[in-house]
Amino acid sequence: MNDNTNEILNRLAALYPDAQPALHFKSPYELLVAVILSAQCTDERVNKVTAELFKNYNTPEKMLSLTQEQLEKYIFSCGFYHNKAAHILSASRDIIEKFNGKVPNTLEELKTLAGVGQKTANVVYAVAFDGDAIAVDTHVFRVSNRLGIAEGKTPQKVEEGLCAAVPKELWSKTHHYLIYHGRRVCHSQRPDCVNCTLKELCVFYNKTR
């Protein structure tokens, strides 16, 4: 853990005071579907797809009026469309049959749904239900390791490190701060270290100087 974690968090909060989810949604169910679609796909692409999909299929009941083949045609451009369609339909069925048509609001129950792993459950829990959770996507994983806030070779290890290093009430906000910083500054291939206001606190930068 970086000894400067608190200062890093303060600077990230100042840099991205309006950090919020990039996915467009109007209900917990729409968010769940969008997050499933976002696996290895950009949020921008998902938003384009769900803008059309949600016009007529924005509840579990309406989604299940589609066959898997029909749903695949809507979500084809998101990639991995066969598995994603199967997961969305299966999760929709479970929501109706096991949870009275409502997306469950606990991490444990969310993870019983098809296609919902730790990251997806954390996002839905934190964003839709104001829960305390840190979802580790590629940006969070990369930036956490580089800054030294939480270092690990797996998303689970990084999540554990973040939860230990960051006050619980800041978990959800920190998730968005790290995503924004990863997208705008700490890029995968060419991180903009020169213009990064965190560089003197960053483990990666100080190792490569």
Close Cβ partners of 2 (under 8 Å, ≥ 6 residues apart) = 8, 147, 148, 149, 165, 201, 203
Distances, alpha carbon 99 to alpha carbons 6, 89, 132, 163, in Å: 40, 15, 22, 29
Dist. CA 162–CA 140, nearest whole Å = 10
63 backbone dihedrals φ, ψ, rounded to 5°: -60, -40
Catalytic annotation, residues = 119, 137
